[in-house]
């Protein structure tokens, strides 16, 4: 009776385990079951993976940085309106009274810009109306206006590249690097998703294998209990069968836990954690793991990796940035020679007064000799009636070693270093691709060996069961054969999973580094 109760308990546990292990169609106690192909899992990751979403923002940030760098060449407009009044005490009899009052209303407009060629210019216009009580004013009110223009062009230093063009070029390279890093993140995430998918597939198929072993143990237990009932087996001999059932039940529990762990890893890669069913959705591969051996061309794979891997592109990007810095610092050790041109045209008008006839006593009344209106003043400016030209060259050169010399020496070293890093990376890539290809070939052989071992284990179990049924073998050897078969099935499933994961790694190693991107720091911009 004790054995019957224990057998009933075992059947109840098996029923619970079987219900948990059986694939639910649409919904279980915790949530829905979502069946996915591996391509669907990758698509979900590209759309929802937080790491990819974070990385997508970096190119946008660099776009802003490029726009900021370009803003240095945006022209600047300026304008000023000013009303001025001044009362000054008389310090000379020539002032014509106890105080002198000057008033002025002026307007100024200007524009200045530095061009991408290094050329800088400024353009300005000024107009003013001034009144004064000073006796010596020839015009009262005085109308004045002028237009000015200045131009400066570096001839050696900063002619082909200056600090702002250097910064823009470096920022553009950073923008390219952001795209490369995004591609690397997508490739790395895709690899992780595929491997997590195969881990989940392995966990589910391993659960089926463990469940099959549990079913065999239960069947053996049932047979032994019948033998005990008919008296062909001692009751003590059933303990071993019960122990085998308990051991397999434990294996099933462990396999179920492994499925949950694999689901969590895959869930974190492909689903949005903000969705309400993030933790309740059960993920399930839509088909068993395939074993489809692929042909491997190691030399072609190495060539593809060297040509297109993201870390190689980043290394080349670093060389290009170092080259930009080198070109900039080469110009900075040259003499600073600039050609300068300035031009100004003036116009003056207003009410012209008669000359002063006496410097003593009460000043004689002064009358208006002529009136030059603002239109006349503006005409003088526009026709360049009173031009002023300035043409010159400025030269500046430090005596002795300067900071720019040390910056150039550092830039040369950093450029050589970046080139050497690229060569070293290309060598490492060859080794990585060869290792990945070798792993694919090794795992393919493992699958063949594991399948052969599983087939032999099935044959051995069948033989031991026949011997036991004929009474020429004890149950221990049957249970041992069951354990061997369970392990052989697990080994086969694991070998297939490892093969598919090695294929994933072989494909991924041709796109990006399997250990993360090689971020090579470019030469600094140095002191400006």
What average pLDDT does the chain have? 85
**Residue 145 and residue 36 share a domain:** no
The per-residue pLDDT for 202 is 94
Give me the long-range contacts of 447-450 (CB less than 8 A, separation at least 24): 447/291, 447/492, 447/495, 447/496, 447/499, 449/495, 450/488, 450/491, 450/492, 450/494, 450/495, 450/496
**Residue 136 and residue 111 share a domain:** yes
Cα 313 to its chain centre, rounded Å, is 14
- Range with lowest mean pLDDT among 60-64, 211-215, 350-354, 484-488: 350-354
Residue 118 has phi, psi (to 5 degrees) of 95, -10
Q: 93: pLDDT confidence band, cut at 50, 70 and 90?
A: low
Going by their DSSP bridges, the two strands 33-36 and 282-285 should be labelled as parallel
CATH number of the domain bearing residue 291: 1.20.1600.10
Pick left, alpha or beta for residue 345 (phi over 0 → left; psi -120 to 50 → alpha; otherwise beta). Answer: beta
Q: How large is the average pLDDT for residues 366-391? A: 86
The per-residue pLDDT for 148 is 94
**Residue 271 and residue 200 share a domain:** yes
**Residue 528 domain flag:** no
Proportion of the chain above pLDDT 90, given as a percent: 57
Token pair listed for 208 = 């089926």
Q: Which of 22-26, 31-35, 54-58, 89-93 has the highest mean pLDDT?
A: 54-58
Q: 89: pLDDT confidence band, cut at 50, 70 and 90?
A: confident
Predicted structure pTM score:
0.78
**Residue 268 and residue 389 share a domain:** no
Encode pLDDT of 152-207 as tens digits. 999 999 999 999 999 999 999 999 999 999 999 999 999 999 999 999 999 999 99
**Residue 525 domain flag:** no
**Residue 192 and residue 174 share a domain:** yes
CA dihedral 352, 358, 359, 363 (to 10 degrees): -70
**Residue 207 domain flag:** yes
**Residue 277 and residue 179 share a domain:** yes
In what helix (H) or strand (E) does residue 8 lie, and over which residues does it extend? helix 2-21
Question: Residue 235 and residue 209: Cα distance in Å, rounded?
Answer: 29
**Residue 180 domain flag:** yes
Number of compact structural domains in the chain? 2
Domain with 346, as residue range(s), is 78-157+336-396
**Residue 496 and residue 459 share a domain:** yes
**Residue 389 domain flag:** yes
Token pair listed for 496 = 């297939």
Question: Residue 184 and residue 176: Cα distance in Å, rounded?
Answer: 12
Cα angle value 137/138/144 (rounded, 5°)? 95
**Residue 234 and residue 209 share a domain:** yes
**Residue 527 domain flag:** no
**Residue 179 and residue 135 share a domain:** no
Token pair listed for 286 = 């839509």
The per-residue pLDDT for 233 is 78
Question: Residue 164 and residue 528: Cα distance in Å, rounded?
Answer: 10
Encode pLDDT of 290-301 as tens digits. 898 989 999 999
Cα Rg of the chain, angstroms: 44
**Residue 272 and residue 169 share a domain:** yes
Is residue 211 predicted with pLDDT exceeding 60? yes
**Residue 22 domain flag:** yes
Encode pLDDT of 237-281 as tens digits. 788 888 889 999 999 999 999 999 999 999 999 998 888 888 888
Residue 389 neighbours by CB distance under 10 Å:
9
Is residue 504 predicted with pLDDT exceeding 80? yes
**Residue 516 domain flag:** no
Cα 246 to its chain centre, rounded Å, is 51
**Residue 372 and residue 307 share a domain:** no
**Residue 352 and residue 308 share a domain:** no
Q: 378: pLDDT confidence band, cut at 50, 70 and 90?
A: confident
């Amino acid at each position: 009776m004790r054995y019957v109760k224990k057998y009933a308990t075992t059947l109840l546990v098996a029923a619970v385990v079987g219900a948990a292990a059986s694939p639910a169609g649409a919904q279980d106690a915790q949530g829905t079951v979502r069946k996915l192909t591996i391509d669907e899992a990758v698509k979900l990751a590209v759309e929802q993976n937080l790491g990819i979403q974070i990385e997508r923002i970096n190119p946008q940030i660099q776009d802003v940085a490029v726009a900021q760098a370009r803003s240095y060449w945006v022209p600047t407009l300026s304008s000023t309106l000013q009303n001025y009044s001044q009362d000054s005490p008389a310090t000379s009899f020539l002032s014509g009274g106890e105080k002198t009052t000057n008033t002025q209303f002026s307007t100024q407009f200007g524009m200045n810009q530095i061009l991408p060629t290094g050329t800088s210019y400024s353009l300005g216009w000024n107009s003013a109306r001034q009144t004064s009580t000073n006796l010596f004013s020839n015009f009262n009110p005085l109308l004045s206006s002028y237009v000015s223009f200045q131009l400066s062009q570096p001839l050696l230093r900063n002619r082909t590249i200056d600090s702002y063009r250097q910064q823009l070029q470096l920022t553009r390279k950073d923008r390219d690097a952001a795209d490369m890093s995004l591609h690397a993140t997508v490739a790395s995430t895709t690899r992780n998703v595929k491997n997590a998918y195969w881990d989940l597939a392995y966990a589910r198929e391993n659960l089926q294998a463990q469940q099959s072993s549990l079913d065999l143990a239960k069947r053996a237990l049932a047979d032994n209990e019948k033998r005990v009932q008919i008296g062909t087996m001692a009751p003590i001999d059933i303990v071993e069968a019960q122990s085998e059932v308990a051991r397999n039940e434990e294996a099933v529990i462990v396999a179920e836990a492994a499925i949950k762990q694999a689901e969590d890893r895959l869930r974190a890669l492909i689903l949005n954690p903000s969705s309400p069913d993030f933790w309740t959705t059960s993920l399930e591969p839509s088909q068993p793991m395939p074993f489809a051996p692929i042909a491997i061309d190691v030399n072609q794979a190495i060539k593809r990796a060297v040509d297109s891997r993201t870390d190689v592109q980043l290394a080349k990007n670093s060389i290009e940035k170092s080259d930009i810095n080198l070109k900039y610092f080469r110009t900075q050790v040259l003499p600073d020679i600039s050609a300068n041109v300035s031009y100004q045209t003036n116009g003056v008008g207003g009410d012209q007064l008669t000359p002063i006839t006496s410097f003593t006593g009460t000043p004689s009344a002064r009358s208006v000799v002529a009136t030059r209106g603002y239109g006349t003043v503006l005409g003088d400016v526009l026709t360049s009636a009173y031009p002023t030209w300035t043409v010159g060259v400025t030269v500046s050169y430090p005596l002795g070693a300067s900071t720019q010399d040390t910056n150039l020496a550092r830039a040369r070293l950093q450029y050589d270093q970046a080139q050497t890093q690229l060569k070293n990376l290309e060598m490492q890539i060859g080794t990585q691709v060869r290792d990945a290809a070798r792993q694919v070939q090794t795992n393919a052989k493992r699958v063949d060996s594991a399948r052969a071992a599983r087939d032999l284990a099935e044959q051995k179990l069948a033989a031991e069961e026949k011997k036991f049924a004929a009474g020429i073998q004890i149950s221990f050897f049957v249970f041992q054969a069951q354990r061997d078969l369970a392990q052989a099935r697990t080994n086969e499933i694991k070998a297939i999973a490892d093969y598919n994961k090695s294929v994933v790694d072989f494909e991924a190693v041709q796109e990006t580094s399997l250990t993360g991107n090689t971020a090579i720091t470019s030469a600094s911009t140095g002191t400006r």
